[in-house]
Amino acid sequence: MDHTFQKYQKEAQKLLNAKTRPHFPKHPQLLRKVTKEIGSLSTQANVQVSKLESLVNGYCQLAMDCLNNYEGLILKKEDKREADLILITNPKQIKIKTESLNENSNENSKKNLNENSKKNLNENLKENLNENLNENSNQNSNQNLNDNSNESQKESTITNENYLDSISESTREIDNKNMDENEVDDDDFIELDFSKDTFSFDKSRGRSERSSKKLKAKNKYEKLFQSQISKIRETPDLDLSLQRYLYEAEGVNQELNQFLNMYSLYQSNITKKKLKAEGPKIDTIQKFHQDISLTEIQHINLIFGLKMRKVAERKKKISTKNLNKREEKLNEKKQILNNETLKMKDEDVSWDGEMLSENVPREEQIQSIKTHINKIIGSEAHPISRALKRFKMRIQKNYNMDLKQAKKEIRIFCENSAQFLKENFAFFDESTKDVNRSRALIQNHLVKSIYEFLFPLYVQEFKKQNKIIENQLKKLENHTLADFKVRERFWLIPEKSDSVNENTENQELQIYQDPYIKAIVSFQTIPKLYSPIKKIKIILKIKDEIEEAITEFYKDKEIKPGYCDITADDNLQLFLYTFLKANIPSPYSEMQFLNDFIPEEYLLGELGFCLANYQSAVQFFVNKDQNERK
């Protein structure tokens, strides 16, 4: 009928044709009904659906990312799991879509009908299933499984281990019977589960239609059932791990459900507020996303926070296992120390031991923070990345923004988002280190993304200073290494060898090439980069390239030890020389930019030293001009 209809039909067919996941539930009936529902709705609503769809997809992706972080029991089967997750999310997506559609057509539909139809459908499905099962397997085994699965479903929220135990018990009981039957039964029960979940959309069909469909569905279901059995027989490696893996998927599914419920609530609020007055428009939807307040998002994000907390707990457990060996060694050391020192200092020693044991996993944690923040920024749906977008939009609009104001707003934004992360994610330490780190990373990203608007402000603000330096650089344009009082050994003038007498013209061209050309070229890339940290890393690279040039020059020559030690003086002189030759545009505002946006954590280390070099080069040229004026 419609474009969407065809789309969902395809999805349904994909579900049916999936060969690699015999254990996974398939609901052809549901999908068919859903597609018909969607087909009956207006095209206007469909536009909205596609919009919402993309949003939901974003959330699902984020949830997937969370899952990937999960140190799952079946890491080896990652591919399979991902595929299944997509399958799990699909019916949910459809559910959300239908829900949102329902909200739009709420004026026409009646709630009473909904409830009735739900009950009816549930009963129908149960009957169907029971009949099917009767035909294919013993009633006793079914009942056992029923009990087991129901119990385990109830307990599933409590702990992993309990559930796994219950599953293993159930499998032991079933061990005597055929493997094929077990697996099929499991599948069916999960199917029931899903049917409960997804029956929230409204049905406008009567019983009479259903009874006729019942027979058709029954026939089709039987076929499907048999095909499933045949497929399962083809795959022999169905065992406990698969069940575990199913359980995990289910747990995620439950969380997703919770989350999606909240999301739909939030969505309905918005539609109630805005759509009543204006009618459905794409523009209004876009506006909603700009208007979302942080508190609302926090609410939604709490679920992800919980997820991450679980992950962090698991990680801790694993790291403690790894550390046990180290602790044993440390204990031995402690004993030795105890023998040597007085008992008074017991506390001291234990404190020292803690320090050592904590040092190891910290680096991993730093890495995990980095990757996590990259993920946050990469995803479309996360509140921080959305806030980033909004911030960018705002700056784009206020083109005449003051530099001070811009800096202030950036600082506030970064602090807020760091605080937000601190409150919602478990892997942050109580100390401020992690918060600072994440703030630094977010700041760097933010500055990078609005660089095109931010840097012109710097150029305007420091016009005078830039001019002074640029004039100075022009005057000194022809300065050589000697003029900078660089020691003669670092001039790196190659000696003319006798064999080069022929083709002298070419040789001369080569000879007078700047020995530090590499460093100069890389210096010139600084204005092309947007990220402040990358800019400063270029300066570090320049220093290395200067050293490289010198070592290469003296590689084959016999020199006294220490002859080529580059002291701080030489370093600064050579840096000034490259600064002059590179002659980058607006160097002063470049310096101020770096000064403002290099995070404090970096300033004590090597990068801070590089920034100091850059600053002193700028100041050197400014001062030189002032001195001449005097």
Partner 1 sequence: MTFVTPNASKIVILGDSGVGKTSLALRFTHNEFHDLELSTVGAKCFTKSVHVADKDVHFSIWDTAGQERFQSLAPIYYRNSRAAIIVYDITQKKSFHEAERWVDEMKRHGDEDLVIALIGNKSDLNEYREVKMKVAQEYALKNNLIFLETSAKTGEHVEDLFMKIAEMLPSVHAKIPENLDHNFGIVSISKLEEKEKRKEKKNCC
Min dist. Cβ of residue 607 to partner 1 (A) = 7
Which position among 564, 583, 584, 596 is part of the footprint of partner 1 (CB under 8 A)? 564
Q: Which is nearer to partner 1, 521 or 564 (CB)?
A: 564
Min dist. Cβ of residue 472 to partner 1 (A) = 15
Q: Is 61 left (phi over 0), alpha (psi -120 to 50) or beta?
A: alpha
Min dist. Cβ of residue 352 to partner 1 (A) = 6
Residues contacting residue 165 through CB under 8 Å, at least 6 positions apart: none
Residue linked to tokens 């009956």: 40
Report helix, strand or coil for 585: coil
User: How far apart are the C-alpha atoms of 13 and 150, rounded to whole Å?
Assistant: 30
Q: Which is nearer to partner 1, 276 or 555 (CB)?
A: 555
User: How far apart are the C-alpha atoms of 395 and 455, rounded to whole Å?
Assistant: 12
Residue 442: exposure state from Cβ atoms within 10 A (0-12, 13-18, ≥19)? buried
- With binding defined as CB under 8 A, does residue 550 bind partner 1? yes
Contacts of partner 1 in 588-617 (CB under 8 A): 601-609, 612, 615-616
Residue linked to tokens 């991993």: 364
Q: Which is nearer to partner 1, 491 or 563 (CB)?
A: 563
Contact status, residue 480 vs residue 512, Cβ threshold 8 Å:
no
Contact status, residue 65 vs residue 1, Cβ threshold 8 Å:
no
User: How far apart are the C-alpha atoms of 238 and 241, rounded to whole Å?
Assistant: 8
- With binding defined as CB under 8 A, does residue 342 bind partner 1? no
Q: Which is nearer to partner 1, 189 or 577 (CB)?
A: 577
Binding region for partner 1 (CB under 8 A) out of 48-56, 162-170, 350-358, 515-523: 350-358
Contacts of partner 1 in 128-157 (CB under 8 A): none
Q: Which is nearer to partner 1, 397 or 557 (CB)?
A: 557
- With binding defined as CB under 8 A, does residue 412 bind partner 1? no
Q: Which structure tokens are listed for 305?
A: 């926070």
Binding region for partner 1 (CB under 8 A) out of 50-58, 64-72, 98-106, 346-354: 346-354
Q: Which is nearer to partner 1, 222 or 352 (CB)?
A: 352
Residue linked to tokens 């090439």: 513
- With binding defined as CB under 8 A, does residue 619 bind partner 1? yes
Min dist. Cβ of residue 516 to partner 1 (A) = 13
Which position among 283, 495, 498, 565 is part of the footprint of partner 1 (CB under 8 A)? 565
Binding region for partner 1 (CB under 8 A) out of 48-56, 383-391, 475-483, 541-549: 541-549
Per rule CB under 8 A, count of chain residues that contact partner 1: 46
Min dist. Cβ of residue 350 to partner 1 (A) = 11
- With binding defined as CB under 8 A, does residue 453 bind partner 1? no
Min dist. Cβ of residue 360 to partner 1 (A) = 15
Which position among 175, 237, 347, 502 is part of the footprint of partner 1 (CB under 8 A)? 347
Q: Which is nearer to partner 1, 171 or 571 (CB)?
A: 571
Binding region for partner 1 (CB under 8 A) out of 217-225, 298-306, 349-357, 465-473: 349-357
DSSP labels for 511-558?
Answer: HTS-TTHHHHHHHTTGGG---HHHHHHHHHHHHHHHHHHHHHHTSSS-
- With binding defined as CB under 8 A, does residue 544 bind partner 1? yes
Contacts of partner 1 in 461-480 (CB under 8 A): none
Which position among 357, 436, 507, 522 is part of the footprint of partner 1 (CB under 8 A)? 436
For residue 495, report the phi and psi dihedrals to the nearest 5 degrees: -80, 140
- With binding defined as CB under 8 A, does residue 455 bind partner 1? no
User: How far apart are the C-alpha atoms of 611 and 437, rounded to whole Å?
Assistant: 19
User: How far apart are the C-alpha atoms of 362 and 374, rounded to whole Å?
Assistant: 18
Longest dimension (CA), the chain: 106
Contacts of partner 1 in 353-372 (CB under 8 A): 355, 366
For the chain, state the CA radius of gyration.
Answer: 34
Binding region for partner 1 (CB under 8 A) out of 144-152, 247-255, 294-302, 564-572: 564-572
Q: Is 562 left (phi over 0), alpha (psi -120 to 50) or beta?
A: left
Min dist. Cβ of residue 606 to partner 1 (A) = 5
DSSP labels for 297-349?
Answer: HHHHHHHHHHHHHHHHHHHHHHHHHHHHHHHHHHHHHHHHHHHHS-GGGHHHH
**Closest to 364 measured CA to CA, from 420, 319, 408, 394:** 319
Q: What totals of helices (H) and strands (E) does the chain contain, helices first?
A: 26, 0
Binding region for partner 1 (CB under 8 A) out of 56-64, 213-221, 312-320, 344-352: 344-352
Residues in touch with partner 1 (CB under 8 A): 347-348, 351-352, 355, 366, 433, 436-437, 485, 540, 543-544, 546-547, 550-551, 554, 559, 561-572, 601-609, 612, 615-616, 619-620, 623
